[in-house]
Structure 1
Amino acid sequence: MVFAAGHGTRMRPLTDDRPKALVQVAGRALLDHALEQVAGPGPLAVNAHHHARQIEAHLAGGPAQVLVEENALLDTGGGLKNALPVLGAGPVVTMNGDAVWHGPAARATLTEAWDPERMDGLLLIVPADRAINAEALSFGLEQDGRLTRETRDHAFTGAGIVKIDGLAAFEGVFSLRDLWWKMLAAGRLFGVVHPGHWAEVGRPEHIAPAEAMLARLR
């Protein structure tokens, strides 16, 4: 599940006439950077709202099913729950559409580390010294792989795996964070470290540092 429905308020004025997911970084739409990270077998959903028809046109003929949230944004949790008829029984790989990556694909790192016996959720994190423009959530990583908020020296990359069972407790508009906090309290939210570099791209001024990172590492 790739999340691409937001208004992209922080990315204005670039999002006045396009969705944030179609803002270009290093010659490619942010959405294409995200899709590259989750490519693989199984169903694929992308949600859309702001300039949704542009996302539909961009993905036309490809494997992704675009789910347009017509009347109001559902946020990440509500968007994922809305996509379950497409995605199936789960667990689901989730991906934010506002970052660029260097190193192994996020899906490969997550699925290799996934242990459903111990985990209800697994988030892909990166140490602060390999993260650019990090403004999203941050966590610490315990020795057993569990995430903690007591220390916050790893940035959340926007990619993860979640079991979908817990979504039943929520309705309407809600964030995936609401689900993660329950997992964290139960000791069932884990982290795995992305072995490469990562850059968040949430503002216009983030684009140049992200492109410089990719140019330096490629």
Structure 2
Amino acid sequence: MPEHPSTILLFAAGLGTRMSPLTNTRPKPLVEVAGKPLLDHALAQCEGMKAVVNAHYFADQIYEHLEGTDVLVSDESDQLLETGGGLKRALPLLDSNPVFTMNTDAVWRGANPIRPLKNAWRPEKMDALLLMIPTEQAVGHTGSGDFDIDDKGRLSRGSDYVYSGVQIICTDGLAAVSENAFSMWTLWDGMLANGKMYGTVYDGQWCDVGRPDSIPIAETMLAGNNNV
């Protein structure tokens, strides 16, 4: 198993219902923040990596946007597969185990979020490593956190930290899943039970861009205003 992966799947297939009405005519990853589509904000973090983007909703627009780039598209036009199913569908293009995955509905200010995951990845003991945001620092996020982290870095369901949408994950467990469409939790639940799911904390700024009213908040953060 490699020290850390050099391949990443960016999730861009969702319906973007929370971003309506902006998503009535385009997929959420092509909604602009600070003059640049969310997908491009995500791709900017992936320099030097093999990148795969999945597509379902307005898939033709994703294809058109990526035309002329080296980014590959995992086509889910026939069925919305959720995150776990999307990863399973993309495996032949990713050709890697483990892989990075990244959601495309957030923006970052600070260090590249890929870097702390690479630095903290320990393949001999981890099946997944998630990049976490302390709940009180999760700009634009509504609701509680997703996980707690113990003193050894292992995750459990909780509320202290928000999942940033970026992780390294081993894909071995996908072979045992018979469904086409399923959540990432199908993999995560077993990893949590085995104590092999870890988290590391991002020390920059992160903004969840899930709704139209999140866009000005994200733009204020990117402009360097800490009062967000």
TM-score normalised by structure 2 residue count = 0.91
Q: SS at the partner of 1:44?
A: strand
CA contact (8 A) 1:30 1:100 kept: yes
Could you say if the C-alpha distance between residues 58 and 123 of structure 1 is closer, same or farther in structure 2, counting changes exceeding 3 Å?
A: same
Partner of 2:135: 128
Does structure 1 conserve the Cα–Cα contact (< 8 Å) formed by 2:74 and 2:93?
no
The gaps in structure 1 that reach 5 residues or longer are none
Structure 2 spans left out of the alignment, 5+ residues? 1-8
In structure 1, what is the equivalent of residue 100 of structure 2?
Answer: 93
Q: Is the 8 A contact 2:127 2:169 kept in 1?
A: yes
Counterpart position of 1:146: 154
CA contact (8 A) 1:130 1:196 kept: no
Match of 1:214 in 2: 222
Q: Deviations over 1:77-110 (max 9, x none)?
A: 1111111111113100000010000111121111
Q: Distance in 2 between matches of 1:187 and 1:111?
A: 20
Aligned CA-pair RMSD? 1.4
The answer to whether the 8 Å contact 1:141/1:148 transfers is yes
Is 1:27 aligned to 2:35, yes or no? Answer: yes
- 8 Å CA contact 2:57, 2:77 repeated in 1: no
- Show the 5 A alignment for 1:1-218: 1-41=9-49, 43-135=50-142, 138-149=146-157, 151-170=158-177, 171-217=179-225
Matched length: 216
Alpha-carbon displacement from aligned partner over 1:149-205 (angstroms, at most 9, x marks no partner):
2x4111110000000101112131011121111101110000011110101011111
Give CA deviations for 1:24-78 in whole Å, capped at 9, x if unaligned.
011110001111223323x321000111111111111112101221221011111
Give the number of the structure whose residues are more often helix, by fraction: 1
